[in-house]
């Protein structure tokens, strides 16, 4: 039984034809995946469905009747809920308050709100108090809270825009259970994701868009074919790293490092971490949400004060007290959240890219703008950032290009050790492959790379060694020669973990 039909949908932005005659039908209880590179039109199509745009071409039918959807309110009335990529939660309010935001009774019935919230959270396997403030929740938890919010309403069609981009594999499983439960109750799910391996598992049908047009659909997921459909050209090997590397000298050595957590912020304490990174080596850090992956990288970057342990870099003691000290010693951190942690979105590419390396461009105490722009331009071209120029505002670039600007910024500091936290999160396959190629060439150039990722296939393909973190401890280490499986890594990642049962 068809629940949703979108017919010949079109949408133009100034200078861009974002969508052109795209049609989509979804049946009750079906999971349809939308696939396409950045700018393919997936988000535009879904934003139209969610009522974000007032004007568009084409027609939408819900349950066989024409539905006029021109505002988020219209969409809600028709039982359409969308979980946006950029989470829409109020940090200073509690989980329960957020879930009922805009639908509260005039006089709040907190008890009922909290009871219902607790029920929803339990259904998602989240062990959180409904009174917890959003700002105390991690990104992955927030994502699941968004799901809970959508579920709290009467949904017929649930749109999820990259729901797993912030989740580690175990949380993804949990989300799948939830999705299957929903479809079992007749809810239709439209699922946008860049992770092809997920679609195989969760999607009944994959619809591919490219440049705002419908390209085709498949009910069998064939990786190579789908990538070809998305890109319009064969992409070759997704993860280009060849064997070998990592025979260089020891670059970073961490011994018995302990870093306290921070109550309230949800920061995981690190306990007696020992590791090393050699020149020319790519070392991966795996672990579930809250395992301390980001905390580890941040501590090496001098953001948190350790209480015990020592580090050395290039054979000399290394005790960074703040990022500035780390940068001076040739350490770079490509942070997890590029918008919140890495970029001044309202400023230009050049401004952002030269920020940590401005010292290089000083002449008589002033910044030599010409030299700066030349250096930035060279780096930006090398990374193939698609932009009209170095004076272009970073906030207007696509996610993949923004991430490249972040990389350019750190490469301009000529680092010897590069820490990367989720370097390919939420960017399209093409940019992802380029970043992987960059990591390989950095390692080949004798730099050390320590990369944390929640995508195990990425780590397995790229890394010479993989460290597995669980609750702030290293629970396993695998070398490439051991040929670890995803299962083995997951097992280590869950070692001694109190498993939240559904």
Partner 1 sequence: MTATTEPPPPAKAPGESRLRRTFSALGAAQAYIGLVLILAVGIATKGEVFLNETNLTNAVGAFASRGILAVGVTLVILTGGIDLSVGSLLGIASMTAAMMLSKYSLEPWQIVPICMVVGGLFGFLNGAGTAWLRIQSFVMTLAMLSVVRGLDRQVSDNVSVGTQIAGPDGKLTPQAEAFQLFGTPGHNLFDRIYYPVLAFVVVCVVFHLILTKTRFGRHVYAVGGNPTAARLSGVNVTAITIAVFTLSGMLAGFAGPIDAAYSASADPQAGQSYELDAIAAAVIGGASLAGGKGTIAGTFVGALILTLLDNVLGLNAVSDNWQLVIKGLIVVVAVVLQRPDLFKFFRGGSRS
Parallel/antiparallel/unpaired status of strands 308-313 and 250-259: antiparallel
Parallel/antiparallel/unpaired status of strands 250-259 and 270-278: antiparallel
Query: Where does residue 73 rank: exposed (0-12), middle (13-18), buried (19+ CB within 10 A)?
Result: exposed
Task: Name residues whose C-beta falls within 8 Å of residue 45's C-beta, 6 or more positions apart in sequence.
Answer: 6, 9, 19, 22, 24, 34, 209
Q: How far is the CB of 84 from partner 1 (least distance, A)?
A: 10
Write out the two tokens for 198: 């997920």
Neighbours of 370 (CB within 10 A): 10
Q: How far is the CB of 421 from partner 1 (least distance, A)?
A: 11
Closer of 433 and 494 to partner 1 (Cβ): 433
Q: Which DSSP helix (H) or strand (E) runs through 180?
A: helix 169-184
Write out the two tokens for 157: 């069609």
Helix axes 429-444, 399-411, angle to 10 degrees: 20
Parallel/antiparallel/unpaired status of strands 188-192 and 31-35: parallel
Q: How far is the CB of 338 from partner 1 (least distance, A)?
A: 8
Which phi and psi (to 5°) does residue 180 adopt? Answer: -65, -40
Write out the two tokens for 57: 């071409």
Closer of 344 and 444 to partner 1 (Cβ): 344
Q: How far is the CB of 361 from partner 1 (least distance, A)?
A: 9
Q: How far is the CB of 126 from partner 1 (least distance, A)?
A: 21
Closer of 143 and 152 to partner 1 (Cβ): 143
Query: Where does residue 12 rank: exposed (0-12), middle (13-18), buried (19+ CB within 10 A)?
Result: middle
Q: How far is the CB of 194 from partner 1 (least distance, A)?
A: 7
Task: Name residues whose C-beta falls within 8 Å of residue 321's C-beta, 6 or more positions apart in sequence.
Answer: 302, 305
d(CA 488, CA 163): 25
Q: How far is the CB of 360 from partner 1 (least distance, A)?
A: 10
Write out the two tokens for 165: 């981009």
Q: How far is the CB of 92 from partner 1 (least distance, A)?
A: 14
d(CA 53, CA 139): 27
Asked whether 165 and 85 are in contact (CB, 8 A), the reply is yes
Closer of 113 and 353 to partner 1 (Cβ): 353
Q: How far is the CB of 203 from partner 1 (least distance, A)?
A: 16
Closer of 101 and 344 to partner 1 (Cβ): 344
Task: Name residues whose C-beta falls within 8 Å of residue 84's C-beta, 6 or more positions apart in sequence.
Answer: 146, 161
Closer of 141 and 428 to partner 1 (Cβ): 428
Point out which residues pair with 257 in neighbouring strands.
Answer: 273
**Helix, coil or strand: residue 397:** coil
Closer of 452 and 493 to partner 1 (Cβ): 452
d(CA 440, CA 300): 22
Q: How far is the CB of 135 from partner 1 (least distance, A)?
A: 14
Closer of 8 and 344 to partner 1 (Cβ): 344
């Amino acid at each position: 039984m068809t629940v949703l039909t979108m017919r010949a949908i079109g949408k133009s932005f100034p200078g861009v034809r974002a969508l052109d005659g795209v049609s989509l039908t979804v049946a009750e209880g079906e999971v349809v995946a939308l696939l396409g590179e950045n700018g393919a039109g997936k988000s535009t199509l879904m934003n139209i469905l969610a009522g974000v745009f007032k004007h568009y071409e084409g027609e939408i039918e819900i349950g066989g009747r024409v539905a006029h959807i021109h505002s988020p309110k219209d969409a809600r009335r028709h039982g359409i809920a969308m979980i946006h990529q950029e989470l829409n939660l109020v940090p200073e309010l509690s989980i329960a308050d957020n879930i009922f935001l805009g639908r509260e009774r005039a006089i709040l019935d907190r008890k009922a709100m909290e009871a219902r919230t607790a029920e929803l959270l339990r259904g998602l396997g989240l062990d959180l108090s409904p009174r917890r403030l959003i700002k105390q929740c991690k990104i992955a938890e927030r994502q699941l809270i968004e799901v809970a919010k959508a579920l709290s309403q009467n949904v017929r069609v649930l749109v999820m825009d990259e729901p797993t981009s912030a989740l580690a594999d175990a949380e993804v499983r949990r989300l799948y259970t939830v999705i299957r439960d929903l479809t079992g109750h007749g809810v239709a799910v439209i699922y946008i994701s860049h992770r092809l391996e997920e679609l195989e598992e969760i999607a009944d049908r994959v619809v591919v868009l490219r440049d705002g047009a419908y390209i085709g659909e498949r009910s069998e997921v064939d990786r190579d074919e789908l990538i070809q459909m998305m890109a319009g050209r064969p992409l070759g090997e997704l993860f280009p790293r060849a064997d070998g590397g990592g025979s260089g000298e020891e670059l970073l050595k961490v011994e018995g490092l302990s870093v306290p957590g921070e109550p309230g912020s949800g920061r995981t304490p690190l306990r007696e971490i020992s590791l090393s990174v050699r020149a020319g080596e790519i070392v991966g850090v795996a672990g579930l949400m809250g395992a301390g992956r980001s905390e580890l990288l941040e501590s090496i970057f001098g953001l948190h004060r350790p209480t015990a342990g020592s580090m050395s870099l290039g054979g000399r003691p290394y005790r960074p007290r703040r990022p500035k000290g780390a940068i001076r010693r040739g350490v770079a951190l490509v942070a997890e959240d590029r918008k919140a942690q890495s970029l001044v979105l309202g400023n230009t590419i050049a401004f952002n890219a030269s920020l940590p390396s401005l010292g290089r461009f000083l002449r008589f105490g002033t910044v030599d703008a010409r030299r700066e722009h030349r250096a930035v331009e060279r780096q930006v071209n090398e990374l193939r950032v698609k932009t009209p120029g170095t004076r272009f505002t970073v906030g207007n670039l696509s996610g993949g290009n923004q991430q490249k600007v972040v990389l350019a910024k750190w490469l301009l500091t000529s680092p010897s050790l590069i820490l990367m936290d989720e370097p390919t999160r939420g960017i399209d396959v093409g940019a992802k492959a380029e970043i992987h190629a960059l990591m390989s060439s950095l390692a080949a150039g004798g730099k050390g790379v320590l990369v944390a990722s929640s995508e195990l296939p990425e780590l397995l393909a790229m890394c010479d060694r993989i460290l597995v973190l669980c609750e702030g401890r290293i629970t396993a280490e695998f070398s490439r020669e051991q040929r670890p499986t995803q299962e083995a890594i997951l097992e280590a990642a869950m070692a001694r973990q109190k498993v939240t049962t559904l």
